[in-house]
Amino acid sequence: MYTVKEIESNGLSYLQVESANKLSEVKICLNRGAAIEELRLKGETLIKDLAPLEYKNTYASSLLFPFANRIKDGKYKYKGKEFQFECNEENLNNALHGLLHHQTFELINKEISDEKVALTLSYTEKTRTKGFPYTYTVEVTYTLTSNSLDLNFVVKNNDTQAFPFTLGWHPYFLSADLSKSSLNFKSTKTIAFDERMITKKVIDREVTMPFYIENKELDNCYALENGTVIFDTPKYKMEINSTAKENFFQMYTPPIANTIALEPVTGISDSFNNQMGLQELQPGATHQITWSVQLQ
């Protein structure tokens, strides 16, 4: 049987989930947009706290909405009107990673059995901000089993107007030796960035697989032919899947050893302006996506 504990640490609220044999575990921070701080499957640690790096600089495991990645100068136009997000990436003057990463979610449902546990967390925005003057509810259901974690992400438009959006997830995964790890995915389009990490152009060429990480410093983005990415490390092999119709994949190596961000996203940098992956949600409508992580 799985157990769910509510704990407090350093002024933050967490949900700690564990299997009876302690081989499967997830730790979720409610005050950081329901971000996962720790994940263990079949006894293998896939995600852990990135200290001494700070969350405000890593956005580790953040749920990304209403936009993934960046918006240049925080500015965009929608239906003939101009809008301005706060530029929280100050050194490059970009809006970065949406509006959920600092919000507090609440637990609204839990289902526990011998085989799995499912936790549904919710946040409702009632304030129409300057950059995104709409109201909405987001719910994420984390389902943990011995060898998998599913994230079912649902957005509901509570407003009287339609709004634009893209979605993403920003997890950092561990490897016993990242230089001896590789990725496998299908892509014929590479997204090229300028010096501010804003999309400059799309390069049409097939990406050779497997993609060997070696000692590369990565901050790369690709359009995927399907929603599957395989991460092969010396100790485990993992598959990330997405149910989205249009999928992009961002990878990034932070300044900490043997760690890599593998980010499934539905839109690219500056999507609110270049329209790549951009979707629209009508008043009263909902949009749902599931990302899954599974050990092979």
Distance between CA atoms of residues 296 and 294, nearest Å: 6
Band (pLDDT 50/70/90 cuts) for residue 92 is very high
* Phi, psi dihedral angles at 107 (to 5 degrees): -80, 120
Band (pLDDT 50/70/90 cuts) for residue 137 is very high
- Do residues 157 and 282 lie in contact, with contact meaning Cβ atoms separated by under 8 Å? yes
Please give the structure tokens belonging to residue 92: 């490059």
Nearest CA-CA partner of 46 in 255, 238, 264:
238
Mean pLDDT of 252-272: 97
Reported as a single tens digit per residue, the pLDDT across 13-72 is 999 999 999 999 999 999 999 999 999 999 999 999 999 999 999 999 999 999 999 999
Distance between CA atoms of residues 190 and 203, nearest Å: 5
Distance between CA atoms of residues 205 and 275, nearest Å: 21
Domain ranges for the chain: 3-295
Q: Residue 254 has what pLDDT?
A: 96
Please give the structure tokens belonging to residue 154: 């649902």
Beta bridge partners of 110: 119
Reported as a single tens digit per residue, the pLDDT across 152-207 is 999 999 999 999 999 999 999 999 999 999 999 999 999 999 999 999 999 999 99
Q: Residue 122 has what pLDDT?
A: 98
Query: For the chain, first and last CA: distance in Å?
Result: 23
Mean pLDDT of 110-114: 95
What predicted TM-score, i.e. pTM, was given to this entire model?
0.96
Average pLDDT value over all residues in the chain: 97
Q: Residue 100 has what pLDDT?
A: 98
Report the CATH number of the 3-295 domain.
2.70.98.10
Distance between CA atoms of residues 122 and 153, nearest Å: 10
